[in-house]
Amino acid sequence: MDSETAIQLLEAQRQVWDHSYAYIKTMAVQSAMELDIPGVVQSHGKPITVGELGSALKIAPARTPFLARLMRMLAHMGYFVENLKDGDDETATSYSATLMCGFLVKDSPFNAATWFLLANDPIAVDPWRSFGAWIRQPPAAAGGGDFPFTHAHNGKKLYEVCRDVPRIAKMMNEGIGRDIWLFSKALMAKCGSHFQDLKSIVDVGGHTGTISEALAEAFPGIHCTVFDLAQVVSPAGDVFQEIPPADAVFLKVSSSKSYDAPSHNTRSDEESFFPHLSMHTALGELVKC
Ligand SMILES: C[S@@+](CC[C@H](N)C(=O)[O-])C[C@H]1O[C@@H](n2cnc3c(N)ncnc32)[C@H](O)[C@@H]1O
């Protein structure tokens, strides 16, 4: 083997190893949340050393080197800024919180813990586990509903699982609620003026009405209708049956793309796995910022 091939193979192997151990990042975030590390670092008010953090978390000194490794990992992932000290004493390294860290703080209005638990729940992970088995099966008869998700959940789509499993419904409602809170602030800050001439609007898949509340507060003249499924609001409806009349339909489009990347409105990966998202492309966007 020539040296160039050897180096290319080693690099390829490194990437495969990265993927083999990808779960470590997820587990590091989970451990940080369980220990409330983000809350302790943020409330400290200034960079906190690993030693101080260990004391605050009541961790035995013998275990502090493990805490140091966890903190280093979380810093590499973007949750903390690391301030290295000269010398070998890992416990003297200090850390301060980044914007990302705020999403893991318990009392934050945009805390992402529930979403994290949902994303790692067997309900979400099982479709991936059975993907190989599903894709080898002959396609189901026409009529829709043939997805890895439905295959893993006895033919049920995500919102049917939500309707039938209270634990998932609770996590979805809480997770979506926190997500919309932040989104509604960004929406009003970045494109609030798009709504000013409207007399009425219907928020399709509007959950419990957080966006409508923000709209009504900014533009008291707008009549907002929140339109969602029966397990979320009452009166309820199904977007595939009818949408109440209004000057405009508001529909937030989910995308896996970065907020900085140009949007080409293609089917996202999630859309293919979670059939409920197809309603987003079925109706298109009202507001493009
Ligand atoms: C991912 S949440 C999005 C909530 C909010 N619009 C946002 O942008 O954050 C999707 C919402 O669509 C609702 N939904 C799903 N299928 C629906 C349907 N067939 N008709 C009406 N609402 C639906 C769900 O109950 C949920 O509240």
Reported as a pLDDT band with limits 50, 70 and 90, residue 256 is low
Which homologous superfamily is 119-283 in?
A: Vaccinia Virus protein VP39 (3.40.50.150)
Q: What is the three-class DSSP state of 93?
A: coil
Q: Is the pLDDT of residue 259 over 80?
A: no
For 38, the enclosing helix (H) or strand (E) is helix 37-44
Higher pLDDT pick, 192 / 46: 46
pLDDT of residue 54: 98
Q: How far is the CA of 207 from the centre of ligand 1 (A)?
A: 6
Q: Is 113 in the pocket of ligand 1 (CB under 6 A)?
A: no
Closest-CA residue, ligand 1 atom 5, reads 206
Q: Is 178 in the pocket of ligand 1 (CB under 6 A)?
A: no
Kindly state if the Cβ of 243 falls inside 6 Å of ligand 1.
no
Residue to probe by mutation, ligand 1, list 159, 231, 271, 281, most atoms within 8 Å of CB: 159
C-beta of 89 in contact with ligand 1 (< 6 A) = no
Question: Is the confidence at residue 237, as pLDDT, over 50?
Answer: yes
Q: Evaluate: CB of 271 within 6 angstroms of ligand 1.
A: no
Average pLDDT rounded to a whole number, residues 245-268 = 66
What average pLDDT is seen over the chain? 86
Percent of the chain residues past pLDDT 70, beyond the cut: 86
Helices and strands, counts by H and E, the chain: 14, 6
Measure 156 CA to ligand 1 centroid, in angstroms: 16
User: Has residue 283 got a pLDDT over 70?
Assistant: no
Residue nearest to atom 8 of ligand 1 (CA): 252
pLDDT of 265 higher than 60? no
Summarised one tens digit per residue, pLDDT across range 109-150 is 889 999 999 999 999 999 999 999 999 988 876 566 789 999
Question: Has residue 272 got a pLDDT over 90?
Answer: no
Q: Encoding tokens for residue 168?
A: 């998932």
Please give the pLDDT value at position 275: 36
pLDDT confidence bin for 254, thresholds 50/70/90: low
Instruction: Kindly give, in sequence order, each residue whose CB lies less than 8 Å from that of residue 77, ignoring residues fewer than 6 positions away.
Output: 25, 28, 29
* Structural tokens at position 173: 């409602």
pLDDT at 99 over 60: yes
What is the per-residue pLDDT across 20-46, written as a single tens digit (0 to 9) for each? 999 999 999 999 999 999 999 999 999
| Within this chain, domains 3-104 and 119-283 share the same CATH topology | no
**pTM beyond cutoff 0.90:** no
Top CATH class of 3-104 equals: mainly alpha
Atom 12 in ligand 1: which residue has the minimum CA distance? 205
From 49, 45, 89, select the one nearest 71 (Cα to Cα).
49
**Ligand 1 lined by 214 (C-beta under 6 Å):** no
Q: Evaluate: CB of 232 within 6 angstroms of ligand 1.
A: yes
**276 pLDDT more than 50:** no
Q: How far is the CA of 5 from the centre of ligand 1 (A)?
A: 50
Q: What would the pLDDT profile of 194-209 be if each residue is shown by its tens digit?
A: 898 999 999 999 988 9
Main-chain phi, psi angles of 174, to 5 degrees: -70, -45
Distance 178 CA to ligand 1 centre (A): 14
Instruction: Check residue 200 and give its pLDDT.
Output: 94
How far, in Å, from the CA of 205 to the mean position of ligand 1?
A: 3
ipTM: 0.96
Q: Where are the domains of the chain?
A: 3-104, 119-283
